């Protein structure tokens, strides 16, 4: 049976979530909007444009389309500066070992990330070659929880959705996986991630064998 693993990037393979948080928080401060780590959960897995809309609505702030473009650009410039020093040392524990083992077992591997910065980050981490297909924010028009990013990944790999397992750290991404008809492993905290097939604290806490069992429904 052809099987596939589809990986979110931020918060699953690399801990860029903290840099997104710093950059959004800085912008929130300038706009006089209170923005906590709890609020930040709402932005995880969500596109840049949609994230800005959520941030503005938290503070009941209205902006024109061109002001929004400018704010999103400023947040991204700050974020890109923050991730400028990323190296393979920033890969989260267990992630590259898991990818390599899956590859050695001929499991197809795709990236399914909302980030338009994903190609830059994968290059910095030196793990591009481990993916058979890469779908990111540059290839989709509908943000998670819409299943577009994962369905495009499955299509690029030629694997039916029901044989795909998604690894996600955001509730919006978990819902996108379910909407795609895929199984899902949550990476993070059980109290935050709902309706998954399993939640583990990190990629070092799950084996490739266990992940295959989830696809096979054992």
Question: Which residues are known catalytic residues?
Answer: 8, 10
Q: Does 44 bind ligand G6P (CB under 6 A)?
A: yes
Binding range to ligand G6P, per CB under 6 A, among 87-95, 115-123, 156-164, 199-207: 115-123
The Cα angle at residue 119 between residues 39 and 156, in degrees rounded to 5 = 100
Q: Does 152 bind ligand G6P (CB under 6 A)?
A: no
Separation in Å, CA 157 to CA 53, 125, 127: 33, 22, 18
Q: Does 76 bind ligand G6P (CB under 6 A)?
A: yes
Q: Name the residue nearer to ligand G6P (CB basis): 85 or 104.
A: 85
Q: What whole-number distance in Å separates Cα of residue 148 and Cα of residue 159?
A: 15
List all residues 6 or more positions away from 113 whose beta carbon is below 8 Å from its beta carbon.
Answer: 7, 8, 9, 10, 135, 136, 137, 149
Binding range to Mg ion, per CB under 5 A, among 52-60, 64-72, 145-153, 161-169: 161-169
What's phi and psi for 158, nearest 5 deg? Answer: 70, 35
Q: Does 137 bind ligand G6P (CB under 6 A)?
A: yes
Q: How far is the CB of 5 from ligand G6P (least distance, A)?
A: 17
For Mg ion, which residue of 52, 165, 170, 215 counts as binding (CB under 5 A)?
170
Q: Name the residue nearer to ligand G6P (CB basis): 114 or 180.
A: 114
Q: Name the residue nearer to ligand G6P (CB basis): 137 or 147.
A: 137
Report DSSP letters for 26-64, one per residue: HHHHHHT----HHHHHTTTT--HHHHHHHHHHHTT----
Interface positions with Mg ion (CB under 5 A): 8, 10-11, 45, 169-170
């Amino acid at each position: 049976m052809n099987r596939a693993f589809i990986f979110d990037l931020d918060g699953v393979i690399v801990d860029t979530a903290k840099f997104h948080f710093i950059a959004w928080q800085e912008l929130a401060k300038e706009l006089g909007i209170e923005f906590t780590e709890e609020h930040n959960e709402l932005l995880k897995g969500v596109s840049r444009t949609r994230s800005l809309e959520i941030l503005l609505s938290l503070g009941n702030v209205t902006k024109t389309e061109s002001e929004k473009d400018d704010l999103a650009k400023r947040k991204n410039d700050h974020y890109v500066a923050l991730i400028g020093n990323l190296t393979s040392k920033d890969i989260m524990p267990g992630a590259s070992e898991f990818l390599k083992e899956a590859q050695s077992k001929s499991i197809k591997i795709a990236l399914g990330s909302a980030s338009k910065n994903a190609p830059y980050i994968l290059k910095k981490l030196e793990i591009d070659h481990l993916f058979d297909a890469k779908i990111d924010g540059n290839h989709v028009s509908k943000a998670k929880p819409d299943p577009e990013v994962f369905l495009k990944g499955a299509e690029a790999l030629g694997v039916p959705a029901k044989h795909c397992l998604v690894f996600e750290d955001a509730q919006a991404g978990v819902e996108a996986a379910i909407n795609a008809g895929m199984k899902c492993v949550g990476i993070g905290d059980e109290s935050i991630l709902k309706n998954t097939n399993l939640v583990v604290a990190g990629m070092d806490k799950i084996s490739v064998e266990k992940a295959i069992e989830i696809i096979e429904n054992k």
